[in-house]
Amino acid sequence: MHLRMEEKEVPQTDAVRAKLGRAIVITSGKGGVGKTTTTANIGTALAQRGASVVLVDADVGLRNLDIVLGLESRVKHHLLDVLEEHVSLDDALVADKHSASLRLLAAAQSREKEDVDTEKMRALIHTLRERFDYVLIDCPAGIELGFKNAVVGADEAIVVCTPEVSAVRDVDRVVGLLGNAFKPQLIINRLRPQLVKKGKMLSVEDVNAILRLPLLGVIADEPEIIVATNRGEPLALREDAPTGAAYRAIAARVAGDDVPAPMPSVALTFFERLGSMFGGKRS
């Protein structure tokens, strides 16, 4: 581990931890599969459980995590300000509105991914691991330098995949690039159980027959997710939202709780029950 950044240059409000926190990169290869929403919700759910969490938006040039969390008006400094030592880490960490133990380190919007120094990024993530229980890194789409910089300090990976040919192919590629060292775990996002039942969408089994990864959970494609993003309030906060419960279950599994992987379901109609009686149920 290269630590170019001197630790004393980062003022510390929290006590230095005896044990390093976990650095988990949330990645997918393909864009638009829900990495950022997933990061915001798992981070929120972990913080609601009492853990200290920092979310790092590594998507330099396309900052979005602040929007999903509703923190866009609070961002004053960003990742590159910290890496280039223009501001202290504490000045750049944005306190969350809803969860006291949640912080955001926003991406630079007007910079490029090539501006990030890989070794400095590695050192920064290490510094964050000394201060937080969880460092969740929201990876940009692609497998170029932005991906490499997002992954460099992480020791675990969560891959987000939608039930589409292109997304599965890209996850397959990313998992190949990551190798086993990151112990990648899978979240299947935007599943539409009704379509799966009709045989019009790849099922969880179809996807994981190919990827063969430990399944953290499945998130259904629900309108409430769009509403939550519109408002900048992660669903994980909402006790009444089914998707919120799914994110909380995923967070519990990340934390090591022995709870079942959340799985969306649909009630069978009479004719579908009849059909599955004759034709054999295909989920």
Partner 1 sequence: MIDFLKKLFGHSGSSSTAKERLRLVLMTDHLELAPDMIDAMKRDLVDVISRYVEVDRDKIDVTFEQQDKALAMLANIPILSVNRANGQPAPSVAVAASAEPAPAAVATAPAAADAPAPIKRKRRRRKKAKSQGVAGVPETAPA
Positions that interact with partner 1 (CB under 8 A):
164-165, 168-169, 172-173, 195-196, 198-203, 206, 210, 271-272, 274-276, 278-280, 282
Helix (H) / strand (E) containing 229: helix 223-231
* Cβ distance to partner 1 smaller for residue 54 or 201: 201
Residues 221 and 138: their CA atoms lie apart, in Å, by: 20
Nearest approach in angstroms of CB 197 to partner 1 is: 8
Contact status, residue 140 vs residue 32, Cβ threshold 8 Å: no
Distances (CA, A) of 164 to 102, 167, 190, 196, 264: 32, 5, 10, 12, 17
Helix (H) / strand (E) containing 138: strand 134-138
Nearest approach in angstroms of CB 167 to partner 1 is: 10
From 191, 249, 187, 248, select the one nearest 222 (Cα to Cα). Answer: 191
* Cβ distance to partner 1 smaller for residue 166 or 265: 166
Contact status, residue 191 vs residue 225, Cβ threshold 8 Å: no
* Cβ distance to partner 1 smaller for residue 8 or 270: 270
In which order are the strands placed within the sheet that holds 215-220? 94-95, 102-105, 53-57, 134-138, 22-27, 156-161, 185-191, 215-220
* Residue 177 CB-density burial (10 A; 0-12 exposed, 13-18 middle, 19+ buried): middle
* Cβ distance to partner 1 smaller for residue 87 or 274: 274
* Cβ distance to partner 1 smaller for residue 76 or 282: 282
Nearest approach in angstroms of CB 202 to partner 1 is: 5
Nearest approach in angstroms of CB 198 to partner 1 is: 5
* Cβ distance to partner 1 smaller for residue 83 or 171: 171
* Cβ distance to partner 1 smaller for residue 86 or 282: 282
The owner of tokens 């995949």 is: 161
Cα end-to-end distance, the chain, whole Å? 46
Nearest approach in angstroms of CB 165 to partner 1 is: 5
* Cβ distance to partner 1 smaller for residue 124 or 204: 204
Nearest approach in angstroms of CB 37 to partner 1 is: 23
Residues 47 and 44: their CA atoms lie apart, in Å, by: 5
Nearest approach in angstroms of CB 271 to partner 1 is: 6
Which parts of 70-162 fold into alpha helices (H)? 79-83, 89-92, 118-131, 145-151
Nearest approach in angstroms of CB 140 to partner 1 is: 21
